[in-house]
Amino acid sequence: MQNLKKLVVFILLLNGLASFAQTRVEGLMYLTNQPVAVEFKDGKILSVTKIKELTDKDHPWIIAPGLIDNQVNGFAGVSFGFGGGELTSQGVLKATKELWKNGVTAYLPTLTTNSQELLLQNLRLLATCKNDPDLLGSIVGFHLEGPYISPVDGYRGAHPLKYVRKPDWNEFTALYEASQRSILTVTIAPEVDGAMDFISRSTAMGIIVAIGHHNANKACIDSAVTRGAGISTHLGNGCANMINRHDNPLWPQLANNQLMASIICDGFHLRDEEIAVFYKVKGPDKTIITSDVTSFATLPPGNYKNSEGETIELTAEGMLRYPAQNVLYGSASPISRGVGQIVRVTGCSIADAIGMASTNPAKLYGLTDRGSLEPGKRADLILFEMKNSALLIKKTYVNGQLVYTEK
Ligand SMILES: [Zn+2]
């Protein structure tokens, strides 16, 4: 018994020392492909120094800031849209730990079109989780995608029609308060009644307004941007299959220089040539890679039921389908897959790809302590290898703590 007590004291001491210790990690800097040593302490980067060569020459891994995903509906069997109190803090922790394994060090849990009751309940729970020290600050705020979107089939995507509604400021304010004022972005359709006023009011509060699941014309899109809308949500998706070749919502979103675009690069949501064109038009500074990943990620292929009891099919290739409406049902791939895919499709540099999956979202949402490897920033970093257009995560550090090592 005495020995056990001594052991416990020893372990506690070691833990205490570890939290004060300085950590040094080497890798090939993602911006230059040159070897660097990154030193950090108490969760903050102290220095990034060029070195002559890596100590461990057998593992020439790239070192980069952790990925930041602005659209995570759930992960690893946990949906942020679970009803009936099924969403728990343990579930959120599980999803977060699984995201760490995929290089995601910060994310916006995303709630899609649903009843006000469910949105309130889940935002309250998620806001509590955001402050949970075990999550190491990985939840940076929330994305509300809907319910103020187009009710029209195709543009609505897989969002349930019965919960789609017109913008209602009182209703939104209640959601905002339930989130502890942590809704960072809202995706809405600019053409619905009341949308313009909603865009102005939410922009004035510092909320990033995104346009998505809409069928707005050029005048409406430009007017939304003038009022403060800053980004298109998953451009090229949330759009009907049959559109007019001249008058459709895609061209004006591409043509508007002030509008950024988030794109899903999972290999299913967009054809390679769409990604190539969107990237050519928007460029590396105005493109954000997003995942739109759902609870089905990491699960084996098969047929599943969503919370409404409808069948969702996850194919062997990793495509997530909603057969009843013949639309995709979000994705089953984390954002790390998108990073590898965009390099393959566009030939862009790894530096640009990481920029679109970390630096750009950090800037857009005002996360000034993230999104780059510089002294003073949070020690959120990843070590990875690129193999056959795939990002193989080797290690993930969140707030200076090693949270994942590849086995
Ligand atoms: Zn969507």
Mark whether 160 and 189 lie in a shared domain.
yes
pLDDT attached to residue 84: 85
Mark whether 341 and 398 lie in a shared domain.
no
Question: The CATH number of the domain where 32 resides is what?
Answer: 2.30.40.10
pLDDT attached to residue 125: 98
Helices 195-204, 218-226: axis angle to 10 degrees equals 20
Are 180 and 174 a contacting pair, CB within 8 Å? no
Q: State in Å: Cα 237 to ligand 1 middle.
A: 7
Mark whether 56 and 160 lie in a shared domain.
no
Q: State in Å: Cα 140 to ligand 1 middle.
A: 20
Q: State in Å: Cα 324 to ligand 1 middle.
A: 17
Helix (H, G, I), strand (E, B) or coil at 204: helix
Residue-wise pLDDT for 238-288, tens only, equals 999 999 999 999 999 999 999 999 999 999 999 999 999 999 999 999 999
List phi, psi (to 5°) of 332: -115, 15
Q: Is the pLDDT of residue 10 over 70?
A: no
Q: State in Å: Cα 5 to ligand 1 middle.
A: 54
Mark whether 286 and 163 lie in a shared domain.
yes
Residue-wise pLDDT for 365-379, tens only, equals 999 999 999 999 999
Q: Is the pLDDT of residue 14 over 60?
A: no
Residue-wise pLDDT for 168-184, tens only, equals 999 999 999 999 999 99
The confidence band for 8, taking pLDDT boundaries of 50, 70 and 90, is low
Peptide bond into 375 cis (omega under 30): no
- Indicate the residue type of 371: G
Q: How far apart are CA 262 and CA 253, in angstroms?
A: 11
pLDDT attached to residue 309: 86
What is the rounded average pLDDT of the residues 130-146? 98
Q: Is the pLDDT of residue 83 over 80?
A: yes
Q: State in Å: Cα 80 to ligand 1 middle.
A: 14
Mark whether 214 and 311 lie in a shared domain.
yes
Q: State in Å: Cα 12 to ligand 1 middle.
A: 46
Average pLDDT, the chain: 95
Q: Is the pLDDT of residue 334 over 70?
A: yes
Mark whether 21 and 70 lie in a shared domain.
no
Residue-wise pLDDT for 174-217, tens only, equals 999 999 999 999 999 999 999 999 999 999 999 999 999 999 99
Q: State in Å: Cα 157 to ligand 1 middle.
A: 7
What element of type H or E holds 6? helix 2-20
Q: State in Å: Cα 207 to ligand 1 middle.
A: 18
Residue-wise pLDDT for 302-321, tens only, equals 999 887 788 999 999 999 99
Mark whether 387 and 305 lie in a shared domain.
no
Mark whether 35 and 77 lie in a shared domain.
no
Q: How far apart are CA 360 and CA 45, in angstroms?
A: 19
Mark whether 47 and 79 lie in a shared domain.
no
Q: State in Å: Cα 394 to ligand 1 middle.
A: 30
DSSP bridge pairs for 305? 311
Give the domain extent around 24: 2-64+373-405
Mark whether 8 and 75 lie in a shared domain.
no
Q: Please give the tally of structural domains in the chain.
A: 2
Give the pTM: 0.94
Q: State in Å: Cα 71 to ligand 1 middle.
A: 9
Are 199 and 228 a contacting pair, CB within 8 Å? yes
Mark whether 200 and 251 lie in a shared domain.
yes
The confidence band for 336, taking pLDDT boundaries of 50, 70 and 90, is very high
Mark whether 39 and 175 lie in a shared domain.
no
Instruction: Mark the residues whose beta carbon lies below 5 A from ion ligand 1.
Output: 238
